[in-house]
Amino acid sequence: MAPVRLRHPKGTTTLQVDFDAFTVLDLQQEIFAATEIPPSQQELKAGYPPRTLTLIPELPLESLGIKGEQLTVNAKPAPKSSTNAAPSAASTLGPMTGSTASQVPRSEVDASPARSASSSSGGPDYVQFDGGYLVHQIVPDDNSCLFSSVALIFEQNKNKALSIRKIVADEIRKDMVTWSDAVLGRPRDDYIATILKPSSWGGAIELAILAKYYSTEIASIDVETGRIDHFPPPPETDSGNRCILIYSGIHYDAATVAPILDAPPDFHQTVLPALSQGDDDPVLAAAKKLADKLRAKKAYTNTATFDLKCQICGQGLRGEKEARAHASQTGHVEFGEY
């Protein structure tokens, strides 16, 4: 452990940080304990002049490039209502960003309230905009939600999650430089074997790989905060298109555009032109409004504080940090909310 001085709205705190073992999320949890600023709302700066750090919770702490520097944290502005959406706080993620499949969140846990979110008429939630209707497409909560959502978007079949897992595994095998042991957080062969299991979760690493594979930006909107994380393909292969995922904190769903509300699935558009990175893009603006609608229903989970139960041994756990530690110690990767 090493001391790190943290400046925050309440004053100054010295954190004890394990630079060799911590993930970015571990640091965020320590900051949360000292400041009560949730990880999803933290804006962290380091160095002089201060530079804003891109926080990818699942990456090793070394990805931030800090060693004993003073850190400054502030809370991001709360998202405004859908009638006056706040500017996106999204970070543009390059090919070195990602998450470890063996780590708990950016995935799904049984019984998330986001699963059953629907419109008052009993169908899926939607938002109308100039291009049609942006529709929330709910996929099963079977530990493959990210892969099912991507399969729905690019293969028009949410049952092809295993095929999407194989794409990820093959891309990691082919690119030993980008997807090294250090970036993956574990030996590459172990990571590949894990990601092929239906019980393993996907996150930022998988989204970055799939954006490159399909030459399409994947934009993931966080229901709790309204933040949009952009996963672009490399510029040389970028098709100029974008798709939308909806992230509840522990579950991914897809969003599609329908010309009319009762249009059959074949008429839904899953990939759309990326006109800009901000609110002047009609699809991104609609995605924020859809997140507002889901947030109003409490269709999200705060992963720092939610209560979990290991479905294998029955142990009670609090928050993703304890769940990750339990998974690492026991190999148990099946959790449910209390």
The set of catalytic residues is: 142, 145, 251, 332
Cα 337 to its chain centre, rounded Å, is 19
Please give the Cα distance from 230 to 167 (Å, whole number).
20
Q: What is the dihedral of CA 327, 164, 61, 141, to 10 degrees?
A: -50
* Both structure tokens of 233: 């393909």
Place of tokens 């690493």: 205
- C-alpha angle 54-58-60 in degrees, rounded to nearest 5: 80
* Both structure tokens of 103: 């780590």
Place of tokens 């530990």: 143
> Which regions of the chain does DSSP assign to beta strands (E)?
2-8, 11-17, 42-46, 51-52, 71-75, 126-129, 132-137, 217-222, 228-231, 241-247, 252-258, 272-273, 307-310, 316-318, 335-337
Closest of 76, 99, 40 to residue 223, by C-alpha? 40
